[in-house]
Amino acid sequence: MLCLSINYRKADASVRERFAFDKEKRSKLRHALGNSVVLCTCNRTELFFSDSDPDRAAALLSKLSGVEDTAELLYSYEGNGAVRHLFRVASGLDSMIIGEDEILRQVKEAYSEAAEDGTTSTELNTVFQAAVTAAKRVKTETALSKTPASAATVAANEAAGSGEAVSILMIGSSGKIGSSTLKNLLCHPNVHITRTSRSHSGIALDRKNVRTVAYEDRYKYADEADCIISSTSSPHFTLTAKRLREALHTRKPRLLIDLAVPHDIERGVSELDGVRLIDIDDIGAAAQQGCELKMSAAEQAESIIEEELDELLKKLTFRRFLPGLAEVKRAAGKLTFEKLLYKLRDGLNSEQFSAVLDIIGKLEE
């Protein structure tokens, strides 16, 4: 199996969107490649295939995307490396946000689409089904997808809250932590974001659940917000207790998150009815704890992947061996047991030969 990948590591959003193929283009690409699966998400476009060569696959990507030179954008994997990459992608270990859940659903949908379109082989079926099994083990046996490991992720998770619809007012989304928090928020399907802007800087967005308003109008949108996040480099408060008290008319719980240093939000807002205020120190402490847990979970996930990958590779190797089994039996029948052992000794390294002898030694058990 081969894999070509264009992802967030080498290609920014403006480039990746050129490779965000619709269903018709994905089908055209698969049929041109032969046995293949095409995975398209907001962070990656990846081709998994076995009947074509990488140069032809890269040329097809260029033709469909309109991007002439893809050489500097592409990651290439082959054989066991391609299979291991798929396992890591499906498990969330290769994601921009490590451990994110959405990618497993996207991998399953990409595989189902290809299977329904008749562009998968027995081997591709086996590989993708094994990747999904490994990813499910990672999800259930580790805390990888349950543990945020950055301040932006923690802030976004706090803001998104429960599974219900959440209205978020975001003041400042063009700085490093602000833009990262916004990107993380966009991974939550239940949020509706109103972001303020002093200019046209920041992340360009065309999303139904995001609107941009003038910074000067921030208090007008405060009352409808369930959560307000502020992350600016302003030397002055973006929200004061006095003006916020005047702006809030609806009685409901509100979370205010201050990600700025010095503080954006006046400390006195925490005395307002229903308001809970947390700042960058609170977020940072949670992120540090999450980072330690995430590193431990990622190590567990890698171990699970190696276990599942080893089982898959043994299965695939045996399947490829089966058609020639009868001929091998005839050839082996002409050898004495001792000669067979010597041939194994000469053809294997010490570790492999020791493993074979261990198995032979247990035949009577």
Is the full-model pTM beyond 0.75?
no
Residue 18 within a domain? yes
Are residue 53 and residue 178 in the same domain, yes or no?
no
Task: Please state the three-class secondary structure of the chain as a single string.
Answer: CEEEEEECCCCCHHHHHHHCCCHHHHHHHHHHHCCEEEEECCCEEEEEECCCCHHHHHHHHHHHHCCCCCCCCCEEEECHHHHHHHHHHHCCCCCCCCCCCHHHHHHHHHHHHHHHCCCCCHHHHHHHHHHHHHHHHHHHHCCHHHCCCCHHHHHHHHHHCCCCCEEEEEECCCCHHHHHHHHHHCCCCCEEEEEEECCCCCCCCCCCCEEEEEHHHHHHHCCCCCEEEECCCCCCCCECHHHHHHHCCCCCCEEEEECCCCCCECHHHHHCCCEEEEEHHHHHHHHHHHHHHHHHHHHHHHHHHHHHHHHHHHHHHHHHHHHHHHHHHHHHHCCCHHHHHHHHHHHCCHHHHHHHHHHHHCCCC
Q: What is the total count of domains within the chain?
A: 2
Residue 68 within a domain? yes
**CATH number of the domain within which 26 lies:** 3.30.460.30
Are residue 37 and residue 167 in the same domain, yes or no?
no
Are residue 156 and residue 119 in the same domain, yes or no?
no
Is 227 annotated as catalytic?
A: no
Are residue 158 and residue 283 in the same domain, yes or no?
yes
Band of the pLDDT at 86, cuts 50, 70, 90? very high
Looking at residue 147, its pLDDT comes to 63
| Residue 63 clears pLDDT 70, i.e. is over it | yes
Are residue 242 and residue 172 in the same domain, yes or no?
yes
Average pLDDT, the chain: 88
**CATH number of the domain within which 157 lies:** 3.40.50.720
Looking at residue 202, its pLDDT comes to 47
Q: Residue range 118-140: average pLDDT?
A: 95
Domain membership of residue 249 as a residue range: 151-287
Band of the pLDDT at 127, cuts 50, 70, 90? very high
Band of the pLDDT at 95, cuts 50, 70, 90? confident
**Of 287, 303, 318, which residue sits at a domain end?**
287
Residue 318 within a domain? no
- The percent of residues in the chain predicted with pLDDT above 70, rounded, is 93
pLDDT tens, residue by residue, 318-339: 888 888 878 878 887 888 888 8
Catalytic residue among 42, 187, 227, 291: 42
Are residue 166 and residue 197 in the same domain, yes or no?
yes
